[in-house]
A and B are shown apart, each in its own frame.
Chain A
Amino acid sequence: MTSLFNKKYILFLLLLAFFLIICGCKTEHRFIKKVSFKGNQIIEVIFAGKVDERWATTISNFSVNENTDPDIFLEIKSVFLKSNKSKLTIQMNEPLNTVNTHTLAIKNIITEGKNIGTALVNVKKLYFGYLISILMGAMLIQNYVFVKYLGLCVYLGVSKKKSTAMGMGVTFTIVTVFATSISWVLYQYVLKPYQLDFLQIIIFIGIVSLTVQGVDTILRKVNPILYKEFGVYLVLVISSCLILAVPLIMAASNYNYLECFMLSSGAGLGFWIALFLMACVRERLELAVIPPSYQGLPIAFIVSGLFALSFMGFSGMSIF
């Protein structure tokens, strides 16, 4: 039984890796092996063979634009050909927004005296790295509690004990992922095709309440022990702004399903981290000597402020 499970698991991982590789390294021209970003300002092109040096150092042969606005060409500062004549680096004048896909047009590639035509290539980050950066972004860099200030009511209410914080964190992550997935399907296949975007607030809040109710009913029937532990938090989840904010942000940024999944799980995990950190501090605060007018909510707010300040340190971080 276990070996079967393992096999399935490995197969799944292989499929995932294959899928990611397919997504990550796609070029549209047979002579160009690889195009990638090197840092903020440099695009690196690797050709399958040697190219002509005079052709390669002429800037007008290259043009770069963002995929979303094809009429705005970005300024190229200089082009270098490495000594093996098959590796080319294009230095841009201004930093690129590497999150977006860029189109690189290479005109009349000349190799060994022959003109082999014009190539249009898409430059983008490795898809896996992009997904991870969405996850980390939602979890740490744009932490929903400390940087975006959402879901504070639940955060202040539940973070009194470590055990409750853990329970709430788990429940919250699961419900967020479920609710956002369902609202993604509805948004992409019903609201957007029929131009019903203006109904998104009503639809999303309905979906969130329904998901919470559904999880509540299923959990009560399937696993009563777990229900006893987490049932209390399920009702609280609805009253948090965060659970509505994630589908709204998802709808605004037009993500596909994988990205939407990463965003929602990142939001849930970020909330969990915030709750757990706060619960640790508040358990210590129980024993500390606090002036009477600071007791309760005020000291909790000040501690959250310190956390928010330290979370500002994550801003500007980029992993891939």
Chain B
Amino acid sequence: MINREQTKTQIFLNGILNENPIFRLALSMCPAVGISTNVMNGILMGISVIFVQFCSSLTISLIKDYIHPRIRIPTYTLTIATWVTVTDLVLAAFFPVAYKALGIFVRLIVVFCFITCRLDVFARKNPVFPSIVDAVGMGIGFMVGMIAIGGVRELLGMGTLLGYDVLGFRPVLFFVLPASGFFVVGFMMVIFNYTELVYNRRRKQRNVS
């Protein structure tokens, strides 16, 4: 049920800020930890997710009147699986290098919780255009999260960004190690929480005075 006041811009920004799949909802952490060693992986993964989310939202919102509520989850899964297969084959055919870097995670887009979640919460109840806007917003939110984590890891681990040398030396080689994904995500969440805590405390003080 779309709120009449909710404009397209708000729907779009909702996915990036308020319900960011990685930092806010903490859903689909596997790619965020697994393949976020550099920015390029993040961008590629983000593009694939945007494509899958866009196409499945479009499909579901087109056929929403014909889906019986009791079989809606299998329908979502099969729709997503179809579009993931398309993405998988296209990537394997045209971008073999990128496909190898992403590994099994392209196929695992099927089980990303937030895609199914968006289909159930938004695309099922809304017309085509708002669903598309919501899908793109959500996908970009995911991509931003991936790029942020990948950027931190690439900059601190290799001293480069997108393959270009930025620092000229390698500050902490630890961040290239696969295990550091957990630490980076953890500390980024700490920073977000800390900002929120300080912000709330300031606001409370202002209200008191």
Please list the residues of chain A having a beta carbon within 8 angstroms of any beta carbon in chain B.
Answer: 146-153, 156, 198-199, 201-202, 205-206, 209, 238-241, 243-245, 248-249, 292-295, 297-302, 304-305, 308-309, 311-312
Contacts and interface: CB of A to CB of B under 8 A. Distances in A.
Nearest to A244: B111
A299 B78 contact: no
Given A153-B29, A201-B84, A305 B78 contact: no
Given A148-B34, A302-B182, A305-B186, A293 B193 contact: yes
Contact of A202 (B81, B111, B186, B193): B81
12 contacts: A149-B33, A153-B29, A198-B89, A201-B84, A209-B77, A239-B111, A239-B113, A240-B111, A245-B108, A248-B104, A248-B107, A298-B186
B179 interface: yes
B187 interface: yes
Interface residues of B, number: 38
3 closest Cβ pairs, A-B complex: A301-B186, A305-B182, A149-B34
B180 interface: yes
Contacts, number: 109
Interface of B: 26-30, 33-34, 74, 77-78, 81-82, 84-85, 88-89, 104, 107-108, 110-113, 177-183, 185-187, 189-190, 193-194, 197
B179 A308 contact: yes
Mostly, the B contact residues are helix
Contact of A301 (B85, B183, B194): B183
Nearest to B116: A239
B33 A152 contact: yes
Contact of B85 (A201, A298, A300): A201
A293 to B, nearest CB: 4
